Amino acid sequence: MAFERDGVVYRMRAGEEPQTLNIVAVVDDKTTRYQRQAVTAANQGALSPDGETYVFVANNELWMVKTKQGSRPNDRVAVQLTDWPGLDREPIFGTDNKVVYFTSDRDDSEALYEMNLDTKEVRRVSQAQRDVLELHTTPDGKAITYWQTGKDGGLFRLDLATKAVTKVFDFPRQHRFETDPAYAWSPDMKWFAYSKGTQGFANTNVYLRNMTTGEETNVTRLASNHDAPVFSSDGKYLLFNADRGQPGLYILPLVPPENRPEDYDREYKAPEGVPNVDVDLVNIHRRVERLRAEGAATSASIRRTGSYFTSMAGISFAPTSKATALSG
């Protein structure tokens, strides 16, 4: 018979004393196995406030690379930040060069998280079991705003100094995979522009919300698709993509011009400080003009120099406006 006692295996024949049974197992040497996988695309990139760190999404994971690369080979290698099997995306920086915010479904709903780039420590920010999307830094750089889905959903604000989360206004949404409403803040944060479906999934229009009174106005008023609204840095125009008539980039003067569009050339001057944004809502939808032919885009940004950038895959700027990063 064979038996074990105190971790030792014994064998004992009838009428004999137990004998220790030595067991030898032949195994392969333990070696680390590496697997290389080609990544053909990256998107949803974000630059740190100092413009020295770029965080992007590849294969639904977050990666980081330094923009100031040295001569060593490793200086040009991207570092993987997350390894969650699900979705990690929408990276965005606040005011800290060492903290990046992103959305992840690592705890059921696609919530808002923050990561310390030095320690790789991850902390959940939004606590409700609701999906979070469309992260944006406010023009004053003090907060990050985002949509939260659900019947109690709406626009939420994360204060970067206190880490407090508050609701800005209600906007109920049933599920994550509705058309994501792109939005933009005016430079003085008194106006809020966003795209909203008017006939289910068929059409979207751009709405302007007065953040003081809470009143909203449909400024496009056409059965078509309007998306990616963005304010000019001087606060005089609202630009957006649309397929009304012909696909293209459209421009909406927020105040009626003194002359007809064909009788003058638009002149842009970079603002000094924060401009006061005035809006005349009377017949504002009739002032929409096509600025140029353009393909459909999912995001857009305008630099203080007046340059307009748009991309299918995503775009980001350092707050200093000295660096631009495209992903696609």
Amino acid 315: pLDDT: 38
End-to-end Cα spacing for the chain: 69
Amino acid 15: pLDDT: 86
Residue-level pLDDT, tens digit, the chain, 328 residues: 888 888 888 888 888 888 998 887 776 667 777 777 777 778 888 999 999 999 999 999 999 998 887 777 777 788 999 999 999 999 999 999 999 999 999 998 999 999 999 999 999 999 999 999 999 999 999 999 999 998 899 999 999 999 999 999 999 876 555 566 899 999 999 999 999 886 556 688 999 999 999 999 999 999 899 989 999 999 999 999 999 888 899 999 999 987 766 656 677 677 888 999 999 999 999 999 998 876 555 455 554 445 544 544 343 434 444 443 444 4
Q: In whole angstroms, what is the distance from residue 298 CA to residue 3 CA?
A: 69
The CA–CA distances, whole Å, from 281 to 207, 210, 278, 284, 325 equal 11, 11, 10, 5, 35
167-197 burial, b if ≥16 CB within 10 A, otherwise e?
Answer: eeeebebeebeeeebbbbbbbbebbbbbbbe
Q: In whole angstroms, what is the distance from residue 233 CA to residue 269 CA?
A: 9
* Domains of the chain by start residue, with CATH: 41-178 (2.120.10.30), 179-320 (2.130.10.10)
Give the three-state DSSP class for 29: coil
Amino acid 262: pLDDT: 62
DSSP track, 76-96: GSPEE----SS-EEEEEE-S-
Q: In whole angstroms, what is the distance from residue 277 CA to residue 233 CA?
A: 10
Instruction: Report whether 208 contacts 221 (CB < 8 A).
Output: no
